[in-house]
Structure formats: structure tokens, C-alpha cells
Amino acid sequence: MKSLAGLPRYRKEKNDMKKRRVFVLLLIIMMVTTCVLYPQLPNKIPSHWNFDGMIDGYQDSWFLFIPILIYFMITVLFSFHSMITMLDSKKLMIL
């Protein structure tokens, strides 16, 4: 049975699983790297530079976890989106 995109349904689901694995692997690498390097960081780290290259903004070191949190939320949203799309396409196949 063909999917709406023209590919067999199992092949599309397999590709989605591979993409999810890559996203999760990148998330784990980011988290492990940040946790390993975190103790070596100072309490305040530079976060903004002006046009002359001088530091004019600082953040607490825990701020490095914010991009990981954002990446995690995006990964979860894409996973839910692909699951919902897959369920909708299966409903269309039945009808």
C-alpha cells in the first residue's frame, strides 16, 4: 500500500525513526558535553561582545543549559508531529 507521498508506508516510518535517533543522539551529546565541561567554567561567562570585540554582557554559567532545553522541546514537538501525521495517514489509508 502506498502512502500519500508515494513511498511505501514502512519506508517513510523507518526514515522518521532514523531522524528521531539522530535528534536524540545529538541531544545526548550536547547534554554530556555540557555536563562534563560545566565544572570547569567560571560562575559568569561572556555572552555579548560589542563592535570593538570588548565583552559587555555576562550570563551565569547555568545559562548554557538553555539551548539544550530548547533543542529538547523542538525534538519532542517534531516527534509528536510525526506521530500525529503517521496516525492521520493510517486513518486515511483505512478510509
Give dist(CA 3, CA 73) in Å, integer: 28
Cβ 12 vs Cβ 3: under 8 Å: yes
> Would you state the pLDDT for residue 95?
46
> Would you state the pLDDT for residue 42?
92
> Would you state the pLDDT for residue 9?
52
Tens digit of pLDDT at every position of the chain (95 positions): 445 555 555 555 666 667 778 888 988 999 999 999 999 999 999 989 999 999 999 999 999 899 999 988 988 887 777 777 766 665 555 54
> Would you state the pLDDT for residue 60?
92
Cβ 68 vs Cβ 30: under 8 Å: yes
